[in-house]
Amino acid sequence: MTDHAAQDTRQAIVEACREMNRSGLNQGTSGNISVREGTGEGPGLLITPSGMPYDRMGAGDIVAMGLDGQVRAAGKPSSEWRFHVDILRARPEVGAVVHAHPTACTSLAIMGRAIPPVHYMVAICGGRDIRCAPYATFGTEALSRHALAALEGRTACLLAHHGMIALGATLDQAMWRAVEVETLARQYLGCLPLGEPPELSDDEIARVLDRMTGYGHAG
């Protein structure tokens, strides 16, 4: 990645963080974003700094890290840097990771609930459901392990008592997916007062997955 491209990526991360808060996808400084980058120092990522309000964040505050978990320049990365690094190392097709605490997703995560196939758009995350990873303290290796397991064969998951993670080949795709997952969570929550909603069959989800190739940001 050239210096100019890296600067553009840094600015795109800043703008995405601000959009998360404007849209209600996140509140305060709790979310974080990373984007894969390759430099002469080897494969790595650009990630949001720890605890900095988004309206004060600039492109120069974005932290460069290697996929070995080492910080490459001045700055303190997000406290959740570990699962960002581990996801990007384990999933070469992923170019960006978005983590946030949207209200509906987090409400389901507090209850330890996955999002079942109550709407065909669940398939944008790669399968029949959006899993909820078991709880572990934020920023820990245990949380990263749980997240990787919940994301196996998927591009989004919930984190128990915590929030959600959405992946994408690009930052735009990861942000789009995060918004769609929060929408699905709101729809599911809206059904629950009426009882457990009916679910689409595995065969139908397989048909949807087949038809979604190239759909919007999904393919």
Q: Which residues are identified as catalytic? A: 80
Q: Are 210 and 128 in contact (CB under 8 A)?
A: no
CA distance linking residue 202 with residue 199, whole number of Å: 9
Convert the chain into a string of H (helix), E (strand) and C (coil).
Answer: CCHHHHHHHHHHHHHHHHHHHHHCCCCCCCCEEEEEEEECCEEEEEECECCCCCCCCCHHHCEEEECCCCECCCCCECCCHHHHHHHHHHCCCCCEEEEECCHHHHHHHHCCCCECCCCHHHHHHCCCCECEECCCCCCCHHHHHHHHHHCCCCCEEEECCCEEEEEECCHHHHHHHHHHHHHHHHHHHHHHHHCCCCCCCHHHHHHHHHHCCCCCCCC
Picking from 20, 167, 32, 188, the residue whose alpha carbon sits closest to that of residue 96 is 167
Q: Are 129 and 121 in contact (CB under 8 A)?
A: no
